Amino acid sequence: MKKYFDIHLQVFYPSIVLIIGFIVLSIFGGEPVRLFFSEASQWITQSTGWLFILGVNFFIVFCLWLAFGQYGKVRIGGEGAETEFSLFSWFSMLFSAGMGIGLLYFGVSEPIQHFLKPPMPQANTADLAIQALDFTFLHYGLHAWSIYCIVGLSLAYFAFNRGLPFSLRSIFYPIIGDKINGIYGNIVDIIAVVATLFGLATSLGFGARQIATGLQFLFGIDSGVYTQITVILVITLIATVSVVTGLKKGVRFLSRLNLILALVFLTFVLFLTDTLSVLGIFIESTGMYFQRFIEIGTWSSSFVDSTWQNNWTIFYYAWWVAWAPFVGMFIARISKGRTFKEFVLGVLFVPTLMTFFWISVFGGSGLLLEIETPGILSTPVLEDTSTSLFIFLKAFPLYTFTSIIGIFMVSVFFVTSSDSGSLVIDSITSGGKLNAPVGQRIFWALIEGFVAIALLLGGGLAAMQTASVSTGILFLLILFVICYSLIVDLKKDLSAVKKES
């Protein structure tokens, strides 16, 4: 049996029970459950929004302190540890695991929505456009990546420097010692599995919806639930093949393909649009983002209606926190040999600047189109955000070709998210093994697809978002403890080094 499965019973089975219970509730609960999902999501964002805002800002400061303080030269894996992947492969896997589907789904539509319904009043159209981009940057920039950085750096340190199992429970060793092998460690890992699965399901739901919309846009295929289910099934099967080949073959190959495709697609669209204006938008909006970094990063709509912020900023933060076990563990797995400083600067700034340029090209060009011809993008975006990329591409030459490339890119991002997530969940539920049996990888790859389908049938994206937000608040609290635990061990390590010298 261990040839196909090597599971940690106390984590594997409770995780499966919780996941199945949520799925059954979603499918058979009917309208009362859908209403509950909606109200639960609203309550969580309204009640805990301040904590998410406090947390993500603290995490940025904490990451920079680790990079530029006395621990910046600490090497993951110890002195002399060598890197497993080239910088290009490393950045490729960072980008593909961390943001992929979200940028393709929201890259055009989100700035348009913030332009139409601004979070803060502005004096003129130009200021509205820059603000729309800056809040999109807020949701996809340093704040998001700081969350991944905390989990990734901590786990990499405890796994590769301290020789502990490659599992979230290991991060708490300095606080509870060998008790990580008992109920406390099991609870942490169960939360990590559930958070990862529902965070992934949300992204897979967005991806399936966009692919189905693209197929309807180009070929007239109905984009309804059954088409989305078919898309999820096909992509899940492809992801399963990829995950069987392992990290150094399938996942690395697809991640490199992703980044190459993204760069080619980005460059192609850049030259189809008003190139000089877009370059100006990138410089101005990035500069304004850093100029207003503290203002928009700490804005909590204290004296105004908080609906906008709850629906956007707080939801994003909860979504990224729910993704943190998956992305953080994946980043940790590929980062052996990097110093703390290299890790933090690479994880925080390289994907962030790439993301800003992407949003400037797609979102900035979309805003130029909307300002020039009001309604060209806003009307379809307000009806269905999943159409935004294809409506945008239709405004330029070769839109059939670029739309096909767009669908293909969403599909590849879909696959890399799924197989990366499968490897991470597989590691957690096997007790922290880096290379669990192939049968187990296949099992989790299939489960991810079935969870996405079940939530789609049960409550659509609303159910997925509620699941993501609910697990996100639990893991946010764990993130604060992770920061404390890492400092405790680093101080102990530094003291030992000083005594030896």
Determine the Cα–Cα distance for residues 273 and 261; give it in Å rounded to an integer: 18
Average pLDDT on 463-470 reads 66
Per-residue model confidence (pLDDT) at position 369: 94
Neighbours of 482 (CB within 10 A): 26
Residue 150 in this model has a pLDDT that exceeds 90: yes
Residue with the two structure tokens 């992703």:
258
Residue 306 in this model has a pLDDT that exceeds 50: yes
For residue 495, the one-letter residue type is: S
Per-residue model confidence (pLDDT) at position 416: 75
Do residues 489 and 154 make contact, with C-beta atoms less than 8 angstroms apart?
A: no
Average pLDDT on 179-205 reads 83
For residue 175, the one-letter residue type is: I
Determine the Cα–Cα distance for residues 72 and 148; give it in Å rounded to an integer: 18
Per-residue model confidence (pLDDT) at position 247: 52
Per-residue model confidence (pLDDT) at position 27: 72
Average pLDDT on 88-94 reads 79
Contacts of 238 (CB under 8 A, 6+ apart): 411, 415
Determine the Cα–Cα distance for residues 121 and 144; give it in Å rounded to an integer: 25
Per-residue model confidence (pLDDT) at position 501: 44
Determine the Cα–Cα distance for residues 413 and 259; give it in Å rounded to an integer: 10
Residue with the two structure tokens 């940028």:
103
Per-residue model confidence (pLDDT) at position 434: 64
Determine the Cα–Cα distance for residues 419 and 350; give it in Å rounded to an integer: 23
Confidence of residue 497 (pLDDT cuts 50, 70, 90): very low
CA neighbor of 76 nearest in space, from 457, 333, 362: 333
Contacts of 476 (CB under 8 A, 6+ apart): 48, 51, 52, 55, 318, 321
More confident residue, 467 or 447: 447
Angle at 251 between CA 345 and CA 390, to 5 degrees: 85
Tokens of 202: 């949300």
Per-residue model confidence (pLDDT) at position 1: 47
Angle at 208 between CA 204 and CA 211, to 5 degrees: 135
Residue 496 in this model has a pLDDT that exceeds 60: no
Residue with the two structure tokens 């409506």:
391
- Residue length, the chain? 501
Alpha helices (runs of H) in 220-362, residue ranges in sequence order: 225-245, 252-272, 275-291, 293-298, 307-309, 315-333, 340-359
Per-residue pLDDT tens for 346-365?
Answer: 999 988 998 999 999 999 99
Average pLDDT on 36-60 reads 85
More confident residue, 59 or 100: 59
Per-residue model confidence (pLDDT) at position 97: 63
- Run of H or E residues at 492: helix 438-500
Average pLDDT on 66-88 reads 89
Determine the Cα–Cα distance for residues 219 and 87; give it in Å rounded to an integer: 39
Residue 310 in this model has a pLDDT that exceeds 70: yes
Average pLDDT on 158-176 reads 90
Per-residue model confidence (pLDDT) at position 220: 87
Do residues 357 and 105 make contact, with C-beta atoms less than 8 angstroms apart?
A: no
Q: Give the CA dihedral 263, 264, 266, 267, nearest 10 degrees.
A: 110
Q: Which residues pair with 224 in a beta bridge?
A: none
More confident residue, 289 or 48: 289
Average pLDDT on 362-383 reads 92
Most confident of 42-51, 130-139, 265-274, 457-466: 130-139
Contacts of 400 (CB under 8 A, 6+ apart): 218
Global confidence as pTM: 0.88
Per-residue model confidence (pLDDT) at position 436: 64
More confident residue, 341 or 199: 341
More confident residue, 48 or 88: 48
Per-residue pLDDT tens for 231-281?
Answer: 888 888 887 777 676 555 656 677 777 778 888 888 988 998 899 999 999
For residue 439, the one-letter residue type is: G
Angle at 426 between CA 423 and CA 429, to 5 degrees: 155
Per-residue model confidence (pLDDT) at position 281: 96
CA atoms within 13 A on the CB side of 224: 2
Average pLDDT on 113-133 reads 93
Residue % of the chain over a pLDDT of 70:
89
Q: What is the 3-state secondary structure (H, E, C) of 313-338?
A: HHHHHHHHHHHHHHHHHHHHHCCCCC
Do residues 111 and 131 make contact, with C-beta atoms less than 8 angstroms apart?
A: no
Per-residue model confidence (pLDDT) at position 465: 65
Average pLDDT, the chain: 84
Confidence of residue 468 (pLDDT cuts 50, 70, 90): low
